[in-house]
Chain A
Amino acid sequence: MSVPTLDLEALFDTGGTSGQGEYVIRAVDVKKEFRSGENVTHALRGATLDIFRGEYISIMGPSGSGKTTFFNAIGGLSKPTSGKVYIDQVDIAQLDPYELAWLRCRKVGYIFQSFNLIQVMSCLENVTLPMAFAGVSSEDARDKGMEILKKVGLEDRALHKPAEMSGGQQQRVAIARALANNPAILLADEPTGNLDLHTGEEIIELFARLRDELGVTVVTATHDLKMLKMSDRIVWIEDGLIKRVSTADEMDIKVEEIH
């Protein structure tokens, strides 16, 4: 169990299954180095992980473990120094800037800890922005935007500015925005980090519901134990390596041990 790649291959047969479409994200021996002058920091030392379609995955690890770096790499936000990342079986290292933008626009929905709504725009405009980037006509985008806002329960706040709303509402707008172009993957970085307990729970339930209703794959980086309970699998990162991948049932025991 000490060698992570072996461990993974034992759990999910990673060899010879590519091309079947059951994996939505595959990370193979991803390494990432940051250089500043003479110093080289190894943020990732070779992480391998396959994520199934429709899965709810939580990535955990102490700060400085490479958790964020791994999260960025599988989300197509930064390119690894070596190793491969496939999103929907496409090697993202091979993509040019136009294709990368296309991928971020349609395949992946990003959700941030501090919501990152564009303050100058109304909720509806925030939700329709990714559709504008995708070239959807403004009327179609408005209809679709209202539909998605209804799904997250905010259709009556469509014309409000983010500053006029609570944290939980803002995060729901951000989720609606992430869903705008029907992505296959929702990537959420500490989505409940800036929310109180109760609101955080609502957001977690919303994620679970979206997974069940829309079949999207949810990948979160989180410390939130409530989030872990909902997850299908939990990925533990330490020191730039994937130390353990556990299922929710195994986690239950762990969480109770902590309590």
Chain B
Amino acid sequence: MEAIGRQVRLPMGTAMQIALQGIKIRLGRALVTISGVVLGIAFLMNVLAGSHISTAMKKNEDLQMKEDMMVSLVKMQIENPKHQQIAVLAVGPVTDYERKAIVTLYKIGLRIRADGLQIPGLKLEPAKLPALTAGAEVVLVIGQGDDCPIPPNILTHGMKQPVILDSKDTTQGERTYAGKPYSIPVTSGIRRELFFGKRMADEKTKIEKRTQQQKFRNFWIVTISLLVTIIGIANAMLMSVTERFKEIGTMKCLGALSGFIRRLFLIESAVIGVVGSVVGVLIGILFPMVLYSFAYGFKNVFSAVSYGHLGVSSLECLIAGTILSVVAAIYPATIAARMIPAMALRTNV
């Protein structure tokens, strides 16, 4: 007589092989389950990718708007731009939109004397005070540095009408002049205007609040859609378990451990989750890309969007889809694992 031994756990590879065979033969059912995952994950990815793209496009639009505002404000100060002269003083790092605005101003025919700014392809006249502002219509203080080292009265020395236009974005802090906040007695006649003042800041917070609300709404819709996906997978897996009661019972009669049966269903669900998520992510990226391309142009969308952010979101969606599928399969897999082997003898199942 041989002593009773303990059944060995099978290597993962064997379970994987049998699970994949199961999916292959029941491809129709698997495809239906997979399409459920595809829809859920495509929706999640669509929302994420859409927000990435719209953020990128909004940033572009924002910059364009800032550039336009600078140009139009300068134009308002000068009646006839031809043969007129302006002075530009760069303080700290100069942003792209400021540079673009200077280019546009140059192109409409203004002569530009500049201190601390060079733009390749433009003939800016380098100059220092007092030559910088002598005879200029306006002086533009650009760049996002906090302190302009020259006080207003010296800066506007020799100008017909002392006007300072400042492109400091005040949402990032006010500009000081020679260490002091801008304050000049009205009698001195110096006028200073900000390109991006309080109105701009208000607009910005309003938009931010709206996007916050939008995000919250999206979050709920996505959560509900993912719950529906989980229930769909669980339902499909339960059906699959019921359908295979006899097969599971037979395997148990042949010596399969409960853990092996459980693993079989979890692997099957994980495979469904991975395949479904990959397809879902692809659809979820392509759909908003094409949609935004209609509105903003193909090139703009593809050059503006951050592929790093898209990659991270794709990975998140893949992981989410796989985990959701496995979680959804836990209950059906447990039912399958708990089945008694005598079920295999039932002929009416």
Cβ–Cβ contact A112 & B345, under 8 A: yes
In the complex, how many angstroms separate the beta carbon of B78 from the nearest chain A beta carbon? 82
Task: Indicate whether A199 reaches chain B with its CB closer than 8 angstroms.
Answer: no
**Complex formed: what's the CA distance from A112 to B24 in Å?**
26
Q: Which of A58-66, A115-123, A230-238, A245-253 contacts B (4 or more CB under 8 A)?
A: A115-123
Cβ–Cβ contact B250 & A98, under 8 A: no
Cβ–Cβ contact B254 & A133, under 8 A: yes
**Complex formed: what's the CA distance from A74 to B13 in Å?**
34
Cβ–Cβ contact B342 & A103, under 8 A: no
Closest to A117 in B: B250
| B interface residues, how many (CB within 8 angstroms) | 33
User: Interface digits, A94-111 against B, CB 8 Å rule (1 contact, 0 not)?
Assistant: 011111011111100010
Interface residues of B in 324-349 (CB under 8 A from A): 340-342, 344-345, 347
Interface residues of A in 42-79 (CB under 8 A from B): 68, 72, 77-78
Task: Indicate whether B170 reaches chain A with its CB closer than 8 angstroms.
Answer: no
Residues of B close to A14: CB separation below 8 A: none
- Say which residue of B1, B254, B344 sits within 8 Å of A88 (CB atoms): B1
Cβ–Cβ contact A121 & B345, under 8 A: no
Cβ–Cβ contact B255 & A133, under 8 A: yes
Task: Indicate whether A172 reaches chain B with its CB closer than 8 angstroms.
Answer: no
Residues of A close to B340: CB separation below 8 A: 77-78
Interface residues of B in 224-279 (CB under 8 A from A): 246-247, 249-258, 260
A-B CB contacts (within 8 Å), total count: 95
Residues of B close to A240: CB separation below 8 A: none
Cβ–Cβ contact A89 & B1, under 8 A: yes
Cβ–Cβ contact A118 & B250, under 8 A: yes
Cβ–Cβ contact A130 & B255, under 8 A: yes
- Say which residue of B6, B14, B247, B254 sits within 8 Å of A104 (CB atoms): B254
In the complex, how many angstroms separate the beta carbon of B106 from the nearest chain A beta carbon? 74
Task: Indicate whether B149 reaches chain A with its CB closer than 8 angstroms.
Answer: no
Cβ–Cβ contact B342 & A130, under 8 A: no
16 more contacts with CB within 8 A, not counting A102-B7, A119-B247, are A78-B340, A78-B342, A88-B2, A89-B1, A95-B4, A97-B257, A99-B5, A102-B6, A104-B255, A112-B250, A120-B24, A129-B254, A132-B10, A133-B7, A177-B254, A189-B345
A-B contact pairs, 14 of them (CB 8 A): A77-B253, A77-B341, A98-B6, A98-B7, A99-B7, A101-B252, A102-B7, A103-B4, A104-B253, A110-B250, A112-B347, A114-B246, A118-B250, A133-B251
